[in-house]
Amino acid sequence: MAEATFTFPPDFRWGTATSAHQVEGNNTQNDWWAWEQEGQRLGDGRVFANQVSGLACNWWENAEADIAQMAKMGLNAHRMSVEWSRIEPTPAFWDEDAIDRYRQILGAMRDAGIEPMVTLHHFTNPQWMAGQGGWANAESVTWFARYVRKVVDSLSDLVDLWCTVNEPGILAEMGYYRGIWPPCQKGLGLYFDVYLNLLRAHAAAYEAIHELQDGARVGLSKAMRGFKPRRPGSPVDRFVARTIDDAANGIFIRALMEGVWRPPGRRAQPLPELQRTLDWLGVSYYHRYESTLKLTHPGGMFMEYGVPTGVEIGPDTWGEIHPRGLYDLLAQLKRFELPLYVTENGRPDEVDEHRPRFIVEHLHHVWRAIIVGAPVMGYYFWSLVDNFEWARAYNPSFRFGLLEVDVESQARRLKTSGELYAEICKTGTLSSDMARRHAPDALASVFPGEAPVPLARAET
């Protein structure tokens, strides 16, 4: 094994990520809360074990304790979201107490030397907004811009790094194409319409933030999944992989870089208001899928993606764990000459068996991307804490945290992966010694080869 240390830039942001509904607790006025409650009442299994988010990680009352733990771990950044339904529980009515609580949380981060990145929308919607069609309603763009203006006007002295929308493609896919998240609608055309409304909302927010705050840096977090052909030698499967990748990623790039909306199979629509509405781009990366032609799937244009076989995969419907894919994405994205942040990267792991290796292998590829010129400014591990993982709820197989959380007692425990990440953050390096102590199964892939033989001392 070769002995080596990979050193990151001195101003690199070492962070973690959370979202409001997953950690705050008692977000009683959004669409997810209502959907969870209905599922528990009906016992229909829409959420794992018919659970509800409940108190979650109790951040609304006690976020400061976890912020203190961030500081102890050496983090200098954290990505969090604010909850729209808390701030605007009814149309154009602002809850100033909720805004004050967010000021307290953000102030605690600043006092601890932790730079906040604030996400303005992370999957949940106010019930009043969902009741009027949610993101399928074109008016959603106006509603979102109004909310963004209030938030920025209230918090801009504490925040200048803004993430407008979290993973718009995932929200459109899960809620409006696959129909397994609220509002549980299905339709390929609906997916593209909702995706476009989310991008328009981003552009409206971008304009509003820059109007209100000098020096603001505005971007969004994009889920970037890889899609490989199930049969690499098949021209058909290669075409399917390219087409699915275009539907998931290509339309996003064209819209926000070129100002053109062109979903697969549709005529291009110029949208100049979307062009160059990114000061930075966030990459959310976890895994990749394989894709193939499926003649019995007309609703998906006879194409399908799914979990590969014969490779390392995550639980349930997760795809292939493929660390090299993060390097490939970051290296490809450097051509846009935008600052890049890895806004989410993590692995569900009930007993923290595989997560240390995951961290070492993925951070090695982040370092490699920086070496070839990708302007990667920071890395936000998902997640700081075990939390409410959407429809997987508190399923033990979907624990993502560096900190273990007992939902009943709210007790915390730093995991081995948390100890490893803390050492990386404090030193700004990734070394073979760290891997040997915390993730020995990563040594062969990240530090292969032989250590150099010391030169013999010259004879006198």
- Residue ranges in 88-212 assigned as alpha helix (H): 96-111, 127-130, 140-155, 168-176, 188-212
pLDDT of residue 458: 42
Q: Are 329 and 414 in contact (CB under 8 A)?
A: no
**Angle at CA 57, nearest 5°, toward 52 and 61?**
115
Helix H or strand E encompassing 74: none
What is the residue type of 286? Y
Q: What is the pTM of this model?
A: 0.96
- Residue ranges in 300-452 assigned as alpha helix (H): 324-333, 355-371, 416-427, 432-438, 443-446
What is the residue type of 406? D
**CA Rg value for the chain:** 22
Q: Are 163 and 79 in contact (CB under 8 A)?
A: yes
**Per-residue pLDDT tens listing for the chain (460 residues):** 789 999 999 999 999 999 999 999 999 999 999 999 999 999 999 999 999 999 999 999 999 999 999 999 999 999 999 999 999 999 999 999 999 999 999 999 999 999 999 999 999 999 999 999 999 999 999 999 999 999 999 999 999 999 999 999 999 999 999 999 999 999 989 999 999 999 999 999 999 999 999 999 999 999 998 899 998 999 989 998 988 888 888 899 999 999 999 988 889 999 999 999 999 999 999 999 999 887 666 666 667 888 888 999 999 989 999 999 999 999 999 999 999 999 999 999 999 999 999 999 999 999 999 999 999 999 999 999 999 999 999 999 999 999 999 999 999 999 999 999 999 999 999 999 999 999 999 999 999 986 665 555 444 4
First to last CA, the chain: 32
What is the residue type of 227? F
Q: Give 3-state DSSP helix, strand, coil % of the chain, rounded to 5.
A: 45, 20, 40
Peptide bond into 323 cis (omega under 30): no
Contacts of 20 (CB under 8 A, 6+ apart): 27, 59, 80, 81, 82, 83, 86, 122, 124
Q: Are 22 and 401 in contact (CB under 8 A)?
A: no
Q: How many CB atoms lie within 10 A of CB 249?
A: 18
Contacts of 255 (CB under 8 A, 6+ apart): 196, 199, 261, 271, 274
Q: Is 176 helix (H, G, I), strand (E, B) or coil?
A: helix
Contacts of 124 (CB under 8 A, 6+ apart): 20, 21, 27, 30, 31, 32, 83, 84, 85
pLDDT of residue 309: 87
Q: Strands 412-414 and 403-405, how do they pair?
A: antiparallel
pLDDT of residue 452: 60
Q: How many helices (H) and strands (E) does the chain have?
A: 16, 17
Distance, CA of 184 to CA of 182 (rounded, Å) = 5
In sign, the C-alpha dihedral spanning 351, 357, 360, 361 is negative
What is the residue type of 231? R
Q: Which domains does the chain have, with CATH numbers?
A: 13-414 (3.20.20.80)
Question: For residue 21, which of 342, 400, 409, 389 has the smallest C-alpha distance?
Answer: 389
Distance, CA of 375 to CA of 388 (rounded, Å) = 32
Q: What is the DSSP letter of 452?
A: P
Distance, CA of 417 to CA of 349 (rounded, Å) = 10
Q: Are 9 and 374 in contact (CB under 8 A)?
A: no
Distance, CA of 142 to CA of 68 (rounded, Å) = 37
> Could you tell me the CA-to-CA distances from 106 to 63, 309, 393 in Å, in that order?
10, 44, 26
* The two three-digit tokens of residue 168, written as one number: 């718009």
What is the residue type of 225? R
Distance, CA of 262 to CA of 202 (rounded, Å) = 18
Peptide bond into 383 cis (omega under 30): yes
Distance, CA of 200 to CA of 330 (rounded, Å) = 25
In sign, the C-alpha dihedral spanning 221, 181, 326, 352 is positive
> Could you tell me the CA-to-CA distances from 120 to 160, 162, 166, 375, 407 in Å, in that order?
12, 7, 8, 24, 26
Q: Is 302 helix (H, G, I), strand (E, B) or coil?
A: coil
Distance, CA of 27 to CA of 271 (rounded, Å) = 35
